[in-house]
Structure 1
Amino acid sequence: MSEASVDFAAIGWPPQASIAEALAPWPGARLARVVAQHRSGYELAQYPGHSFRAQAPAGWLRPRADPEARAVVGDWVALDAAGKQILAVLPRHALLKRAAAGEHYQQQLIAANIDHVLLVSGMDADFNAKRIERYLLLIAASGARPVLVLSKLDKCGDPAQYTGQLAALADSGIPVYALNAKDPAQVAVLHPYLSPGKSAVLVGSSGAGKSTLTNTLLGVEKMKTQGVREADAKGRHTTTHRALIALPQGGCLIDTPGMRELKLSGDERFDEGLFAELDELAGQCRFSDCSHGNEPGCAVQAAIGEGRLTLERYQHYCKLKDERDSAAQTLAERRTQDKALSAKVKRHVKDKYGRR
């Protein structure tokens, strides 16, 4: 198949975007998308149903290389004419990431160039509204738009006890759908987010129903599914790595392993979206350095006292903001250290090889 005849929209390329302009910095290069990532390398595709391996640039393999400089599932890349060597990652319009689990701070990229993030949460004992808010902060920082999918409607006696906790999110304009992920008729409500040229990523805890939802969208049992523990509704990982799948609806879906630990990356914003009203309240305090404790003229404490803001929501906001600030400081320190190390290496190379 010649590249000129390839319909890249079938793997998520926006129909209005120019491929020639995107590849202009690399004359003779070919366009491809990262559809899977393994320890041994990347799988790329130019059309659905056919993937191939390509070699990553040497710089990506360095231990302290910037994670954002490497490709991730969903990235569009420029390939050499032979289709064997990745030359570069094309500019992204969205990037979903988190801080990786563990003691040492490191950013973990989840998916790139997605239009929507389908956040799946089961209406069962594993449902957690605060975890959903944490996800929404990460999504807001990504540049993609959130869609909440509350699964297991067929096993839920009273959906209102779950949807009611998310009423404020629905009122803010975030779509919230309660459905049975096994029912194609109910899942059809998600089709508008998966039309040709569109890409979405599935996120949520293990056992929430992501693989079941993927199978229903595909119309075939492609993804393995497992049950959950009855005691706490916790699931086991059925998806072991991120993979981009072309759907019959014309768009693409990236399925991801369930995420138990969801740490903020340090790039999240609190002055817009989910907690915008709290940042606005803080700006109305009499003193600019108000700690929102017992200071006179504190707008936050006034809102709590008048019932316009719950203490629980304020405490959760404080917890998340402290975590974001700590992650942001660590990220800045790491970047400063990396720049200093890079400059040191360059000086060493120049001293050793640059003088003749």
Structure 2
Amino acid sequence: MINYLEMYGLTDRIRNTALLSANTQLARVIGEQKELYRVVTEDGLHSAEVTGKLRFNAVSRADFPAVGDWIVCRAVANGPVLIESILPRFSQFTRKMAGVTTDAQVVAANMDTVFIVMALNHDFNLRRLERYVTLAYDSNAAPVVVLTKADLTDHVSEQIAAVQETAPGMPVQAVSAVAGQGKDALLPYFQTGQTVVLLGSSGAGKSTLANWLLGAQVQATKDVRSGDDHGKHTTTSKEIFRLPTGGLLMDTPGMRELQLWDTDETSFAQSFQDIEALAQNCRFRDCTHEHEPGCAVQAAIQAGTLDPHRLASYRKLQRESAFIARQTAQRSKVLEHRANKRRYAN
């Protein structure tokens, strides 16, 4: 008998984490669109929705299921499966929700590898890549930069070198679905039960990449816009697909806005290894890398070995992270007050 959960990445660690009762079962969220979910259980695919209790107890958007989540659910006669709880996530890619709202959005959960997808044409943007790299390191999954549309540039080697400087130590793969180049370098990441998520901006070529890896037209694609080579936004939902190898591919909508969320210092240190290494040689331990004498970072800029735009980006992301931390702390107080009121009301 086919166990669909094992086909979608079930491990003993996950199985042992689930606290099941007589009428509940383990499942994984493999699709989501506007809080409507597709889940897989041992016996197959089902539509699902959250229980009223889960919705009532949720204090932020991150408390709702995300694609990739392992959940405890309950079957209902003639209705969708009810999601009762979410198992602890071993990895998650989280960003601040778009707009002015101070809340987290879990874009993907329980993935083993993050493919940061960036096209080598007009989508190529090193400053935006730094944001993805920082959040990818923060996700607790292994990040890889995948450069698509290699057939649309004559400067592949130079662009790969620039990415390697921006993401020190991170694997970088350049591919072209149109020319059929680079697939063999990506397939080893899709081992049986391993989940890889595709993340990137609108028009980066994620849907085309997904179809190419899957060997089937599972995601809609559109031609690039005339004049700037940008692809048109096509993917509007998140979904997990199975590769012939047994690996799992999670496609996500393109992100037009990417803000940090509760990023720790370790992630910054990994993302900006070059600056962190230089800072160790500054004369003053609390050097701001601006005008202090004996600043190794400024010396590298003067010597031409460090791009001043990279230092500016480093400072900008640190300020953004500090601002989000202050906003989050303030919001946590408000949410705690609301939770206490609910508790006393009951």
Q: Same fold (TM over 0.5)?
A: yes
| Alignment check: 8 A CA contact 2:58 2:64 kept | no
Distance across 2 between alignment mates of 1:314 and 1:40: 40
Deviations 1:12-69 (A, max 9, x none): 224x5362x2224545531211011223532101369x52122313244349622232
Query: Corresponding residue for 2:84?
Result: 87
Deviations 1:106-153 (A, max 9, x none): 211101000111111111122111111110111011011111111112
Query: Corresponding residue for 1:278?
Result: 275
Query: Corresponding residue for 1:23?
Result: 18
Query: Corresponding residue for 1:341?
Result: 338
Please list, as runs of the form range in 1=range in 2, the aligned pairs for 1:193-212 lying within 5 A after superposition.
193-212=189-208
Distance across 2 between alignment mates of 1:217 and 1:100: 29
Q: Give the Å deviation of 1:227.
A: 1.6
Match of 2:117, as an amino acid? V
Q: Which of 246, 250, 254 in structure 1 is aligned with 2:250?
A: 254
- The question of 1:52 aligning with 2:46 is answered yes
Q: Which of 59, 63, 66 in structure 2 is aligned with 1:69?
A: 63
Aligned CA distance change for structure 1 residues 232 and 63 (closer, same or farther; 3 Å): farther
Aligned CA distance change for structure 1 residues 74 and 296 (closer, same or farther; 3 Å): same
User: Sequence identity of aligned pairs in percent?
Assistant: 36
Please list, as runs of the form range in 1=range in 2, the aligned pairs for 1:1-356 lying within 5 A after superposition.
5-14=2-11, 17=13, 19=15, 21-24=16-19, 26=21, 29-46=24-41, 50-62=44-56, 65-80=59-74, 84-168=81-165, 172-182=168-178, 186-269=182-265, 270-282=267-279, 285-347=282-344, 349=345
Aligned CA distance change for structure 1 residues 151 and 277 (closer, same or farther; 3 Å): closer
**Matched length:** 342
Aligned CA distance change for structure 1 residues 186 and 296 (closer, same or farther; 3 Å): closer
| Alignment check: 8 A CA contact 2:282 2:296 kept | yes
Match of 1:237, as an amino acid? H
Aligned CA distance change for structure 1 residues 233 and 266 (closer, same or farther; 3 Å): farther
Unaligned 5+ segments in structure 1 are: 351-356
Distance across 1 between alignment mates of 2:287 and 2:259: 27
Query: Corresponding residue for 1:353?
Result: none
If the length of structure 2 is used for normalisation, what is the TM-score? 0.89
Distance across 1 between alignment mates of 2:182 and 2:279: 42
Unaligned 5+ segments in structure 2 are: none
Distance across 1 between alignment mates of 2:248 and 2:103: 28
Distance across 2 between alignment mates of 1:204 and 1:155: 18
If the length of structure 1 is used for normalisation, what is the TM-score? 0.87
Distance across 1 between alignment mates of 2:35 and 2:182: 39
Aligned CA distance change for structure 1 residues 220 and 293 (closer, same or farther; 3 Å): closer
Structure 2 residue matching 1:244: 3-state secondary structure = strand
Q: Give the Å deviation of 1:6.
A: 0.6
Aligned CA distance change for structure 1 residues 263 and 7 (closer, same or farther; 3 Å): same
Distance across 2 between alignment mates of 1:99 and 1:152: 29
Aligned CA distance change for structure 1 residues 99 and 63 (closer, same or farther; 3 Å): farther
| Alignment check: 8 A CA contact 1:266 1:328 kept | yes
Aligned CA distance change for structure 1 residues 81 and 51 (closer, same or farther; 3 Å): closer
CA RMSD of superposed structures (Å): 2.5
| Alignment check: 8 A CA contact 1:26 1:78 kept | no
* Structure 1 residue ranges (4+ consecutive) displaced by more than 4 angstroms after TM superposition: 25-28, 280-289
Q: Give the Å deviation of 1:99.
A: 0.8
Distance across 2 between alignment mates of 1:26 and 1:64: 22
Q: Give the Å deviation of 1:278.
A: 2.5
Aligned CA distance change for structure 1 residues 305 and 128 (closer, same or farther; 3 Å): same
Match of 1:228, as an amino acid? V
Structure 2 residue matching 1:77: 3-state secondary structure = strand
